[in-house]
Amino acid sequence: MGCTANGAAPSVDKRSFGDPTAFEPFWRKMGDKCKVVIDGGDLMSYFSDVGNVCWFLEPELGDAIRRLHRVVGNAVTEDRHIVVGTGSTQLFQAALYALTTPAGVGPVSVVSSAPYYSSYPEVVDCLRSGLYKWGGDACTFDKDGPFIEVVNSPNNPDGTLRESVVKSGRGNIIYDLAYYWPQYTAITSAADHDIMLFTCSKCTGHAGSRIGWALVKDKEIAKKMTQYITITSIGVSKESQFRTAKIMEVICDGCQNVGSSAESENFFGYARELMSKRWQKLREALEHSECLSLFKYQQERCLFTGELNERLPGRYKYIYIYIYYIYHPLRGWRAKKASRTANNFYEDLISLEEAGRLLEPIPSLLGLAYCAGKRILMESLNDYWRSKGLGTEIN
């Protein structure tokens, strides 16, 4: 994080990160079951498992990750290398590095279909790397040469299930499966891709532990990802790894007790019900709104719960997108370049504001778009959720 001119660190805008504290009551209820005690002399070495490709992965965490995927059935772990990272954000960078070294003639384009998770372009371009650069919307990408496509499924921000869209054969794909867990979507098959990223932030809600993991098919790619993490942080906190292993163990034990008296310990059941209640309240709150409504997702059979489950995205940015699409036809002349992606929504609002000022005699729809967008979405939605008893934001 940079410094301001007077030397003070800028405070972070909490709205720019979804903070997944919604599951905290569940973990509080688990009490001592999740307790991890670490003595002063414990975990002091850099090394964890020197024989493993990812030499800083604690074997307990590796085992817990494999068990969790087996219990949930959301990803194949057989014949996969696990690389642990400081959040999946670091693993995303590690994967970019691994897929673009040794460097070719120019930076490789990194693309994702819009609307995409807003951090992707920031992370890709922040160091102005000679290895890769942000290439924008995968749907309109038509350059020759190598590229990397990031497929986020279910997608942040709109909750859709995604597949790769670029047709050319010279690309690599990174699957960001942060939300492919039963509380957000039906688990319809075990994901089986070359590079899959997961994170505790969305799976268990422990964003503060900063633990993510990659399931990687190719040993050389796993080695290079490990090399990136070695260079940038010489491994990943062992304290966090142990805590995560414990949390995952408690989740798996709870899931395997489903149907018994310990059903209240089924984390995914709890989290799904919570998400469901929130969506229900949001639906009720928006029932009579003329300018806001919610996407309808079809139900799918979940292999984990055995039930027909509706998709319950962890983000509410879908509302942004709805407004965006509704007002799209109205702003053509002003924000042509910014059209098509919800990622440009903030810029669009500014364009709308300018357009509204110029078109004062007919302000109603433009004004409505601007006010609804800026006031409800950017500032008061969180407060609104709290006032309706929905707690802090889901994510």
Ligand X SMILES: Cc1ncc(COP(=O)(O)O)c(C=O)c1O
* Interacting residue ranges for ligand X, rule: CB under 6 A: 18, 87-89, 117, 152, 156, 176, 178, 199, 201, 207, 212
- Give the residue with the Cβ less far from ligand X, 118 or 293: 118
Radius of gyration of the chain (CA): 22
Which C-beta is closer to ligand X: that of 172 or that of 351? 172
318: left (phi over 0), alpha (psi -120 to 50) or beta: alpha
How far apart, in whole angstroms, are the C-alpha atoms of residue 359 and residue 304? 53
Which one, 154 or 356, has the nearer CB to ligand X?
154
Smallest gap, in angstroms, from Cβ of residue 179 to ligand X?
A: 7
Pick the closer one to ligand X by CB: 201 or 309. 201
Report the nearest approach of ligand X to the CB of residue 20 (Å).
Answer: 8
Angstrom distance (rounded) from CA 198 to CA 179: 8
Q: How far is the CB of 394 from ligand X (least distance, A)?
A: 11
Q: Closer to ligand X by CB, 88 or 100: give it.
A: 88
SS3 of 307, please? coil
CB of 151 to ligand X, least distance (A): 10
| CB closer to ligand X out of 107 and 212 | 212
CB of 92 to ligand X, least distance (A): 7
Give kind and range of the element (H or E) at residue 82: strand 81-86
**Shortest distance in whole angstroms from residue 33 CB to ligand X:** 24
Give the residue from 212, 216, 199 showing the smallest Cα distance to 52: 216
**C-alpha distances in Å from residue 77, one per residue of 107, 190, 302:** 31, 9, 19
Cis? peptide before 157, omega within 30° of 0: yes
Q: How far is the CB of 118 from ligand X (least distance, A)?
A: 9
Residue 109 or 153 with smaller CB distance to ligand X: 153
User: Which residue is nearest to ligand X, using beta carbons?
Assistant: 87
Question: For residue 165, what are the β-bridge partners?
Answer: none
Under a CB-based contact definition with an 8 Å cutoff, are residues 204 and 182 in contact?
no
8 Å CB contact between 161 and 298:
no
Pick 88 or 185: Cβ nearer ligand X: 88
DSSP state at residue 142 = -
Copy the structure tokens of residue 156: 């942040």
CB of 386 to ligand X, least distance (A): 20
Residue 238: name the closest of 385, 41, 14 by CA. 41
Q: Can you read off the two tokens belonging to residue 68?
A: 């969790």
The partner residues of 174 in beta bridges, in order of sequence, read 150
CA 379 to chain CA centroid, Å, is 22
